[in-house]
Structure 1
Amino acid sequence: MNIVTVCGMGFGTSLILKMAVDEILKKNGIAANVEACDLGSVKGKVADLVVSTSELESELKNLNFNIVFVKNAIDKKDIEEKVLEAIKKLK
């Protein structure tokens, strides 16, 4: 499974999200490759799931990805709930 975390520039919020997703996957015994990237690069990625903040919803919603939008990149509980729910739907 490939998961891509996305923010505007690719080295702030996307890295925070990547670390949170990595932690969630490890905690739940789920194997996946997680990569952080910027908004412009996500279009060229192959991803089973994209995780980003709600601020980028208008930029990402029309792309052909399963996308999880979180309101706060440091709210690990919210991220975990949304990511695990999305992964269940992929299986």
Structure 2
Amino acid sequence: MKILAVCGFGVGSSMVLKMTLDKVIKDLGVTGASVENTDIASAKATDADVYFTSAELAPDLKESTSKPVYTIKRYMDKNEVGEKLKEYLAEQEEK
């Protein structure tokens, strides 16, 4: 499973979000998942299984992919990020 953490420039906040996603994946015991951080332009051209980004960037990202896009308000909040990841994983189990 390829996960993209997306911010405007692909440097600061996406790296923080990537680190939080990595911790959540470890805590949940998810195997076979890789997380990359990137900027919005690159994310729109990169295929991933799921995207995590801010509410400001989500509409633009949703226009360029049919894959799920989840918005995160607090990139360092393991609970918020974990809930969104669990939501994604539950949806995948239903398919």
Q: TM-score, normalised by structure 2?
A: 0.87
DSSP 3-state at the match of 2:5: strand
Measure the CA separation in 2 of the matches of 1:63 and 1:83: 21
Structure 1 runs (4+) greater than 2 angstroms displaced: none
Query: 1:26 matched to which residue of 2?
Result: 26
Measure the CA separation in 1 of the matches of 2:77 and 2:34: 21
DSSP 3-state at the match of 1:79: helix
Query: Can you list the C-alpha shifts for 1:22-71, whole angstroms capped at 9, x where unaligned?
Result: 10111111120110000110122121110111121232121222111011
Query: 1:35 matched to which residue of 2?
Result: 36
Structure with more helix by fraction: 2
- 1:82 maps to which of 75, 80, 84: 84
Measure the CA separation in 1 of the matches of 2:45 and 2:82: 26
Measure the CA separation in 1 of the matches of 2:28 and 2:12: 25
Q: TM-score, normalised by structure 1?
A: 0.91
Unaligned runs of 5+ in 1: none
Q: Which amino acid aligns with 2:60?
A: E
Measure the CA separation in 1 of the matches of 2:8 and 2:92: 26
- 1:73 maps to which of 72, 75, 78: 75
Check whether the contact 2:58–2:70 (CA below 8 A) recurs between aligned residues.
no
Measure the CA separation in 2 of the matches of 1:37 and 1:27: 23
Check whether the contact 2:9–2:40 (CA below 8 A) recurs between aligned residues.
yes
Between the aligned residues of both structures, percent identity stands at 35
